[in-house]
Structure 1
Amino acid sequence: MCAPHRLVVLTLGLLNVVLLLAAAVIGIYCAKANDFQIPDSDVAPIIAEMNNLRDNGEIIEAKEEAQAALARERAAHLLLKTQIKEKLAVTDVLQRDIETLQREKKILQANKTALEGSCGWCLPGWRLLKSRCYYFTNNIPSLRKNWNDSRADCVSRGGDLAVINDSEEQKLLNENFVRRLGLVWWQSGSWVGARESPTEGTWVWVNNGKMVNSTLWRIGQPSQSGVQRGSCVGFYYSNHEGKTLYNANCQQHFLNWICEMEQKRT
């Protein structure tokens, strides 16, 4: 065999030896690797822990989202409370303004009669109600008078005891009548210009002779018995606006009185 051929054979032989050695080394390492393989029973807890960590991560993320949403809701709640507080403050201001206006309205209403009187339609101390002037006496007991003296006072002032011509006038007097406490109701009334005529049971207005409308009497009036019995007519406030008249003794009973006169420029 020539030299070149021997060299090729020798080279191939060396390669075979190297391959055998490499295979032996790989086999040894594989055997050792098998010795170090982790059993499935040992891997399961690790996998479970990894899954738990992943689940915890989702929970933490959900918790953070919930906390963020709660923070937004709190901020919105605080904003709403601030807005409500501001509106309440505005409402309080408006309520105070309303109360002030109501007080001013009452003052203006109280002064209305005086203002109208100052324009010259009625004498000082008289009230202008629609187109007539009325004078209401006060409630000082010592100044009360019987019916005759009350009428004389009205005449001295240029008028006469009030005569109720219709339901509208009766309503005006009822609305402007000052109710007084502490006495029997009929003792707190005021004389008006009506009395019983000589024909018993007939009641007339003294300035025109017209009969008193029966619908104006209070329930149970006129009374023909007891201490209230009498032939003159008094007026007292009633929740039933059409029923304000009652009778009393012309001379023995002392009441306030209501005068009336036509309006005029003074």
Structure 2
Amino acid sequence: MAPLLGIVGGLGVFLIWWSAWVQPPAETKAAKARRLDLLLMSAGIEKVTGGGLLLTCAGFGVFALLLFFILTGSPPVAMCFALFGSWIPFATVRWRARKRRAALRLLWPDVVDHLRSAIRAGLALPEALIQLGRKGPEELRPLFLDFGADYRSGGHFEAALNRLKQRLADPVADRIIEALRMTREVGGSDLGRMLGTLSEFLRDSARTRSELEARQSWTINAARLAVAAPWIVLVVMASRPEAMLAYNSGVGIMVLLGGLLVSVFCYSVMLRVGALPEDERVLR
């Protein structure tokens, strides 16, 4: 009973600290679920909902709890690794979203160039977007083919453009689509010049960001290894049952709780200090 009370008390202290650190604005459950859905869309995962992601996190946490309890025989140690396991699906989705955004960042200049060439050749804006499904970058062709299917089925450019915007779920795509929408609504003869300027800007931005990410990758990976090293040592110590029994005592639980709090705090600070500013989707 004493170890269980210690774990519950430690989790309570951790949750109090976390609420004081993050301080999110008040929002409804629907808004939180919507945020998870947007994260999944940014990662290119369309068939999983926010609720499904939360269930997956819970499943990984339970699996890690059972696995490490069998390996170590220590409930406090198993609980710590259960928390890490429950974070794995969410961290994987965030990593995939960052990778997809970085890949798209390199593709958007080519997309803009294709649009500029198609419009200069005399194609209407909807046909220029549909043509990207055949001649655009291969990674984006399915999305523009879906746009063409939506446009031909309903004939409404605005509705098809909104669905394309939702599927892309990318801040750069938001700017491009809103620029095209405004040009179609108000007219103008400078669309080609605007697209050319936008293409140059996107290429310069992608080049600069790639250089910064390459330089900071060594620092971030070293910091991650430093945070993970104590827990790797703890897994190695699982081969000695007498070492694991020490963590079932009150002092052992406090040591684990302190290490968990220090790891989470240091990892959060590392992410905040080393993170590059991300583009926000202000035109959703």
Q: Which has the higher strand share?
A: 1
Q: Which has the higher contact order (CA 8 A, sep 6+)?
A: 2
Give TM-score, length-normalised by structure 1: 0.21
Q: Which has the higher helix share?
A: 2
Give TM-score, length-normalised by structure 2: 0.20
Q: If you compute each CA radius of gyration, which structure gives the higher value, 1 or 2? A: 1
